[in-house]
Amino acid sequence: MHLTVDETIERFTGCVSETVNIPTKPTPEGFKIWLLGNQGYVLNWMFYAEGDGKGLVDLDKFWVEEEGFLKT
């Protein structure tokens, strides 16, 4: 099994604080989502929230606090 982690932006133009705006992307405004995939199938996904103290939403604290990974 070959797994990959990638990010995507799902278009959303409403007014909420969780949207990101990256002008250089093909879809510049929307929700940033991290995906875990295998052979074209999405196995799992997590929303990303921009700002201090945010990052991946519902990321297990074990990976950040005990293992020392960054939230990005």
Q: Where are the domains of the chain?
A: 4-66
Q: Considering the entire predicted model, what is its pTM?
A: 0.63
Task: For residues 26 and 52, give the distance between their C-alpha atoms in angstroms, rounded to a whole number.
Answer: 25
Give me 10's structure tokens: 């799902």
Q: Judge contact between 71 and 62, C-beta under 8 A.
A: no
* pLDDT block averages, 10 residues each, the chain of length 72: 85 84 89 87 81 63 63 55
